[in-house]
Amino acid sequence: MAFPRPWSPILIVLLLVSILGTACAGSAPAAIPELAIQAADFSFTAPDSIPGGLTRISMTNIGKEDHHAQLARLNDGVTVTQFQDTLKKGEAAVFPLVTFEGGAGGMPAGGKSSGLADLPSGQYLVLCFFPSPDGTPHLVKGMIKSLPVTAKPAKAPTPPKAQTVDLGDFSFTGVAASYGPGSFTLEGVNKGKQVHELIAVKVADGVTAEQLRQILSAPPSAGGPPPGPPPFAFAGGMQAVMAGAKAYGEFNLQPGQYAFLCFVPDPSNGTPRVALGMYTPFTVK
Architecture of 161-285 per CATH? Sandwich (2.60)
pLDDT tens, position by position, 6-39: 445 554 444 444 545 544 445 677 899 999 999 9
Residue 21 burial class via C-beta count within 10 angstroms: exposed 0-12, middle 13-18, buried 19 and up:
exposed
> What is the overall mean pLDDT for the chain?
90
pLDDT per residue as tens digits for the range 185-205: 999 999 999 999 999 999 999
Contact 147, 21 (CB under 8 A): no
At the second CATH level, the architecture of 31-159 is Sandwich (2.60)
Say if CB 262 and CB 196 are below 8 A apart. Answer: yes
Mean pLDDT, rounded, for 51-69: 98
Alpha-carbon Rg for the chain, nearest whole angstrom, is 23
31-159 shares its CATH topology with 161-285: yes
Residue 218 pLDDT class (50, 70, 90 cuts): confident
Domain ranges of the chain: 31-159, 161-285
pLDDT of amino acid 13:
46
Alpha carbon 1 to chain centroid distance? 72
pLDDT of residue 229: 78
Rounded Cα gap, residues 232 and 204, in angstroms = 5
Instruction: State pTM to two decimals.
Output: 0.89
Residues 29 and 157: beta-carbon distance below 8 Å:
yes
Can you give the pLDDT at residue 18?
52
